Structure formats: structure tokens, C-alpha cells
Amino acid sequence: MRRTIAILTGATAAALVVPVLVAAGPASARSAGNARGTQNTQNTQDARGTAGAATDPVSALKRHFRPHRGVRISENTKIIGRGGKQRTILTRRDGVLEFGTFGPVASDLTTKFTMPTENGELKGLFAPSRTISLKGVTYTSGGAYADAMPEGKKWLRTRGESVTLVGPVQQIISIVEPATLKATLARTAAKRPGGTWDDTRTTVHSGTITLAELYRASPAIRTMLGRKPTGPSATLPVTWKIYLGSDRLVRRVVSSYTESTRGLNSTELTYVNDTRYTGWGMRSALTAPPADQVADFDELNIGADQAAQAQNPVRELFEN
């Protein structure tokens, strides 16, 4: 029971999908504009000054690992079902990643879903949610368990988890991890002008990296998968584009991969993620929600049938 619940919380409703990448097969993107106020512009200028001396993207990233500084992210993800179920789920995740001396230490992220109209009773599992993660504790408001919260409580607390940066419906290439950024860029196959993002001209690097290579480089991927990918899943190709500014900081990442299962209900899902990074070096001081608004698992009013139903809601949506 508690194992099922753990799958459903963590990094908001965006982590609802049980990782199926450990049994996958082979595998595209979208653009949008950006805007921000005077404070973000000043933060960006400060960030460029800080990273101005950096000669490579990893060094530029590490220069921003300072307490109470961070970056704003905005992600759009499409999950596309193939075969008999030509459905598409759209998700949007926005918020702030806060850094410490060695990398991300906190996050405040809001997730929203746009679902196919015929999703029926699964709709409640994809309700909008906000998640704050810091000091090994994650607080989730809204989402799948909003109706199960005790009276007067708004936040569900889960302990023992570090900041969760990657989930199956989030950006699989975590460029705030120096090793991941380095390993991915080492697989660059082409470079070209990438346009202007976050008020800076960019160069877009593109290529392909396998799931096994990401597993070796990325702590977030190792946490997400739980075990080393083997067989066909190890060679699963993740295609990517990374947009680097003139200050060598990442402004945009687009990735895609396709996973498939073979069995009674064979399913093929393609994940396409487009993430924007703005306001590098912005000030951030995230705090936990008020203690009197927080509840733990053992306080929830959850039926066994509700937990069982939600084991893998995304795959269920495409199979049924």
C-alpha cells in the first residue's frame, strides 16, 4: 500500500507514471515565446556577469551553484499513444530550481495536465498540483490525493526523497547535473544557430544519447529507474537538442524517446519534452509550507481500490 502511494506522489502528479523505461524500444518538438519582468531581466544580467569568464557549459553551470540562487524552468511535455489508442496527454510544469554549493537543493514546481476527453475516472489522478521539495522532504498540494486529505490540511508530506528533477513525463536530460550535461554534449552530432532565447543568441547542439549512457551520468535517471537498464532498453535512443547562450548557459532543451511494451496489451508511447531555462542566478529562498497545513500518509483517507487503480494511470489510459 505505502509502495503504491509512494509512486503517486514525489514530484507531483507528473511522477504518476511507473517507470517503464526498463523495457523499451526505439523513437520530435514545439516552440513558444517568453516574457518576464524587470526583476528577471536584472537577474539574467547578474547571471551573465557571473558566468562571463566561463569557457564551457559545465563550468558556466557550476558557477551558478551558490546558496539561494536558482533558475526558472518552464516545461511542456507531450505523451503520444501509438497504434489503437491515438491519444495525446499534454503536461506543463513551471517553477523554480534553487541551488546550493554543489547543485540543486530545492524546487517549487506546479504541474498541469490536458487530458483526452474520454479519460473518465482517471481524470482525478491528473489534477493540477504544486510540489515543494527541500531538505529531503517533498510537500505536494493538489493532485491525486487532494480529496483524501484530512480537514484543514493542504499539503501531503513524503520524507527521504532528494529533489526530484526527472520523472517519466518530465525532461529526461537534466542539464542542471554537470555530469549529465557533459555526457550529453559529448554526443553532439551537429551545431547550428538556435535563435534568441532568454534575451541571448544561442547555438543549438543536437544528437542522440542512449538510456544506458544517461544512466551512467545522471543521478536523477538512476533514481527514476531504480536499476540499470539492460537488453533493448539499454540502447534506447533519446534524441535531443540543447540551446546554449553566448554565456554558455543552457536556455532550452528538447528531447524525445519512444518506449514500448509487448504483451496482451502492447503499448507504444512517445514522450516529447521542451524545457526553457530563464533568469539564471535569480534569488531564491524556498521554505516549507506552514506545519499546521501538512499531513502524512497515515492521515490520508485512502481506499485500497483507489490505490490499486492508480498503479500506472498513463498506460491504463492508452490501453483501455
What are the phi and psi torsion angles at 304 (to 5°)?
-60, -35
pLDDT at 106: 93
Could you identify the residue written with the cell 551558490? 66
Tell me the β-bridge partners of 90.
78, 114
Q: What is the DSSP string of 115-136?
A: --TT-GGGGGGG--EEEEEETT
* Cell representation of residue 77: 511535455
Contact of 9 with 16, CB cutoff 8 Å: no
Q: Regarding the domain delimited by 2-319, which CATH topology (the fold level of the hierarchy) does it fall under?
A: outer membrane lipoprotein receptor (LolB), chain A (2.50.20)
* Cell representation of residue 300: 490520508
What is the Cα–Cα distance from 231 to 23, expressed in whole angstroms?
Answer: 8
What is the Cα–Cα distance from 141 to 288, expressed in whole angstroms?
Answer: 12
pLDDT at 300: 86
pLDDT in tens, the chain (320 residues): 333 333 333 333 333 333 344 444 433 333 333 434 444 444 444 444 444 445 799 999 999 999 999 999 999 999 888 765 567 888 999 999 999 999 999 999 999 988 765 555 556 667 889 999 998 899 999 887 888 899 889 999 988 655 555 554 588 999 999 999 999 999 999 999 999 999 999 999 999 999 999 999 999 899 888 899 998 889 999 999 999 999 999 999 999 999 876 554 567 889 999 999 999 999 999 999 999 999 998 888 876 545 544 445 555 555 55
Domain boundaries along the sequence of the chain: 2-319
